[in-house]
Amino acid sequence: MLALQGAFKEHERALQAIGARTRLVRLPAELDDLDALVIPGGESTTMTILMERMGLWEPVRKALSEGLPALATCAGMIVLARDITDGVNGQHGFGLLDIAVRRNGYGRQVHSFEAPVRVEGLDHEFPGVFIRAPFVEDTGTADVYAVQDDQPVGVRQGRLTALCFHPELSGDLRLHREFVNAL
């Protein structure tokens, strides 16, 4: 669990509720021997700055590029993206997920909403919680596996899974369970 900023505690609770062991990652050495990494929602520019200051940017990028599975939500999706179409000056993602995203694509905090999401492989819709969510403008070579009103809100590419919404805030553990079971 990348634990610099954002909703990492909520992800930690969800993972522990399904019996997964968790570790908070704040320093490069804490990446050793992980089975996977969760990159939570939060504020993407702050998360990027903190990763750079803590010496985590390159070690995390390297671990993910070498195949460490990741579940990235909201700001985490932005951090993984190839293109951030409206990022602050100089903002960049890892470029590991072949998507283009627009930060706060659904609007500011006041425009946050909940809506049903159709997720491939789930027998009924998932309760999507969208808070200052990124908008996927281009899916590139990533596979779309979740949609809300026909808009891609969940993608996968290799061992990377990214969601525009916050499953950790929904009370529904299916996506966390699915992620852990795929490891």
Largest CA distance in the chain: 43
Question: What is the C-alpha separation between 137 and 119, in angstroms, rounded?
Answer: 19
Task: Write phi, then psi, for 149 (nearest 5 degrees).
Answer: 50, 45
> 5 with 47: CB under 8 angstroms?
yes
Which residues have CB under 8 Å from 32's CB, separation 6+? Answer: none
Burial 2-17 (b: 16+ CB within 10 A, else e): bbbbbbbebbbebbee
74 belongs to the catalytic site = yes
Q: Is 122 helix (H, G, I), strand (E, B) or coil?
A: coil
66 belongs to the catalytic site = no
**Residue 89 Cα distances to 29, 53, 56, 168, angstroms:** 30, 18, 21, 30
Question: What is the C-alpha separation between 77 and 154, in angstroms, rounded?
Answer: 9
Catalytic residue among 11, 164, 168, 176: 168
166 belongs to the catalytic site = yes
Catalytic residue among 74, 92, 137, 164: 74
Residue numbers annotated as active site: 74, 166, 168
